[in-house]
Amino acid sequence: MADTNICPKFEKALSILNKRWTGLIVFQLLNGSQRFCHIESEIGISGRVLSERLKDLEKEGIVKRTVYDETPVRIEYSLTEKGLALEPVLNAIQNWADNWMEQEAVN
Amino acid sequence: MADTNICPKFEKALSILNKRWTGLIVFQLLNGSQRFCHIESEIGISGRVLSERLKDLEKEGIVKRTVYDETPVRIEYSLTEKGLALEPVLNAIQNWADNWMEQEAVN
DNA sequence: TAATTAACTTACTTTATGTAAGTAAGTATA
DNA sequence: TATACTTACTTACATAAAGTAAGTTAATTA
């Protein structure tokens, strides 16, 4: 990316949020801690990309991966404080969608 | 994309906003009407993709393309009412970035 | 006349995503 | 015991999206 005049924090934030699936994953996790397969089927993402995204989001401190040492192990993903702080962003999008998106068939 | 339980308007909105560059383009146009080359150099996007995105955003009714019939012609891009309504979304992201993003080198 | 600018488009390369199958560990079912 | 199934992934390969660089058209300036 070339040099810009835009606030680097803002730009960094957008580079995370602009990635495909990130918004939906965070939105989904706002409902609470969830397992890999559950997120996968709820939002219709492929396992390959979900795995990748969750790692990215973990690295960014937005998502937390917790291993419950039962048998068999249970692994759950949840939002950190930083991740929860994205709720107003998602709400703003929801609000915009309600006011401006036409109800139409998706394809 | 597979079936989900998520509000279709919200999902549609995310499918637009989640696309690379969309956020930055809208953010840039919040400063007012601008020409192609200006947007291109300000946000560091390639002409190829900018052209594509502006067409998408126009189709979605978020951006308006105006041709001023001078010589040489001047073409300007601006936000529609629907596009301007995205300001709270960008503000929410800016706010989150200010509170949670660490200042660090962008590679 | 040559060089420059704006607004793109085209051709080609690289990166991201999708699809499908595979793996490892454990569970349930016949 | 053997077969099938579940979870949480990973791997290999195919397709789609984005980046890079050069080209186009029309007009302007040096």
- pLDDT score of A24 more than 80: yes
Q: Which nucleotide lies at the shortest CA–C1' distance from A72?
A: C26
Task: Note whether B13 contacts A96, CB cutoff 8 Å.
Answer: yes
DSSP state of B34: B
Of A9, A13, A18, the CB nearest to B18: A18
Do B10 and A27 make contact, defined as CB atoms within 8 angstroms?
A: yes
> Token pair of A3, please?
């040099």
- Per-residue pLDDT of A55-106, as tens digits, reads 999 999 999 999 999 988 999 999 999 999 999 999 999 999 999 998 654 4
Q: What contacts A75, CB < 8 A, 6 or more positions away?
A: A35, A36, A65, A66, A67, A68
Residue B31, chain A, CB below 8 Å: the answer is: no
pLDDT by residue for chain B (107 residues), tens only, comes to 344 567 899 999 999 999 999 999 999 999 999 999 999 999 999 999 999 999 999 999 999 999 999 988 999 999 999 999 999 999 999 999 999 998 654 43
Strand partners, A79: A63
Domains of chain A: 11-98 (1.10.10.10)
pLDDT digits (tens, 9 = 90+) for A33-57: 999 999 999 999 999 999 999 999 9
